[in-house]
Structure 1
Amino acid sequence: MSEKAIAAKQLVVDEIKGKIEQAQSVTLVGFDRMDVKEITDLRNKFRESKSEYKVYKNTMMRFAFQELGYDEFADQLTGSNALIFSNEDIVNGPKVAVDFRKEDKEKKEKLILKAGVVEGNFQTGEEMMAIASLPTIDQLHSMLANVLQAPIRRLAGDLNNSVSKIAIVLNAVREKKEANGEE
């Protein structure tokens, strides 16, 4: 093999390593019998979720994972594979993959979550499926905001009720005084 070919392959390996190191999570998926339209639609869904679906040769992925110390991936790199890089949130990429699999029984067999890396730790396919069921960062922020607002809303409601009760009592006192001819 020529030095030029080796250098070109090393560039691909370096690209994969860089994407793995920068991503919040990486998911290795096996895809089988997917047509061009399905892959294009899936890529668009990944893009919308700020994730990237990229197909590389298994040997290039193997070298990249080995250079990063993820030897566990060697057994998973058989057949047609792709990497999903979740760039903003750990769950975005796996969630899109799991949602695609849920669309119908046939799609479940076409896209298989094999393994992944989350915060530098190797994850099995089952663990990546579990990660996909977690809420996104935006959903967690919304949940936290609701939890923090609940006591404030309750206090505002209680204060409003107290003011209403005081107004009712004062109005009753005024009416009584008016009825007695007092001012």
Structure 2
Amino acid sequence: MSEEKRVEKSAVIEDVRERFDEAEAVLITEYRGLDVGQMADLRGALREAETVYKIYKNTLVRRALDEGTPEGLVDMLVGPTALAFVEKDPGAAAKALKQFSAANEALIIKGGLLNGELLDEAQVRELADLPSRDELLSSIAGGLAAPLQQIASMMNNLLSEMASLLQALADKGDAPAAEEAEVEEPAAEEAEVEEPAAEEAEVEEP
């Protein structure tokens, strides 16, 4: 092997190792039978899920894996293999692979690696059925919005009730004052009744 080839292989091995270290998950597929156009479509679908789809020689991938890699992952590295390196959302990447494989039977999902744990094909498909990160965030945002709307509605109702209560108290406070004023009016009549006392005084003069 020439020095140039050796350097090239070392660079590929280092690239694979770094991608495994940095990825949130790695999903393994077999692409036998996919043409150039289908591969381009698959890469585009995975790119939308923030996932890089790469093809390496299986021997170089095996050399890049460290001793802590589950043995079952190495067993998947047979045949025409492509690796999907997930940058953020494993569920979104798994969903993209599942949807593509449903329309293109040539794509085979083998399994993968998530948080250091080995996934088989069935587990990757189960992962695809889970809500994506964006869907979860949207659901959480909607759940938070509903209580806030309820709180705002309750506050408006309380303010309305307080305003009605204050108005009722104000009306009740004005009414007795008017009644008291009406009750005090007969005092003038009492003064008129006392006038005959002068006549009695006139009768006593003899």
SS of structure 1 residue aligned to 2:65: helix
Shift of 1:90: 2.3
Shift of 1:114: 0.7
Contact 2:69 2:116 in 1 (8 A): no
Aligned runs of 1:100-119 on 2, under 5 Å? 100-102=100-102, 104=103, 107=104, 109-119=105-115
Amino acid at match of 1:101: S
Distance 1:151 1:73 in 2: 46
Shift of 1:53: 0.7
Partner of 1:92: 92
Shift of 1:32: 2.1
- Normalised to the residue count of structure 1, the TM-score between the two structures is 0.80
Structure 1 gaps of 5+ residues are 174-181
- Normalised to the residue count of structure 2, the TM-score between the two structures is 0.72
Structure 2 gaps of 5+ residues are 170-177, 179-206
Pair 1:32 & 2:32 matched: yes
Shift of 1:38: 0.8
Distance 2:144 2:128 in 1: 26
Shift of 1:148: 2.3
Partner of 1:176: none
What is the percentage of aligned positions where both structures have the same residue?
32
Of 148, 154, 160, the match for 1:158: 154
Distance 1:157 1:40 in 2: 52
Shift in CA distance, 62/84, structure 1 to aligned 2, threshold 3 Å: same
SS of structure 2 residue aligned to 1:110: coil
Deviations 1:29-68 (A, max 9, x none): 1112111111111111112221111111111122223555
Partner of 1:131: 127
Contact 1:19 1:85 in 2 (8 A): yes
Distance 2:89 2:16 in 1: 19
Shift of 1:21: 0.6
Amino acid at match of 1:11: A
Shift in CA distance, 9/67, structure 1 to aligned 2, threshold 3 Å: farther
SS of structure 1 residue aligned to 2:90: coil
Contact 1:53 1:83 in 2 (8 A): yes
Aligned runs of 1:11-90 on 2, under 5 Å? 11-66=11-66, 69-90=69-90
Deviations 1:109-147 (A, max 9, x none): 211211211122221121111112222222222222222
RMSD between aligned residues: 2.9
Q: How many pairs does the alignment contain?
A: 178
SS of structure 1 residue aligned to 2:26: strand
Shift of 1:168: 7.5
Distance 1:26 1:56 in 2: 14
- For the pair shown, the structure with the greater C-alpha radius of gyration is 2
Amino acid at match of 2:76: Q
Partner of 1:178: none
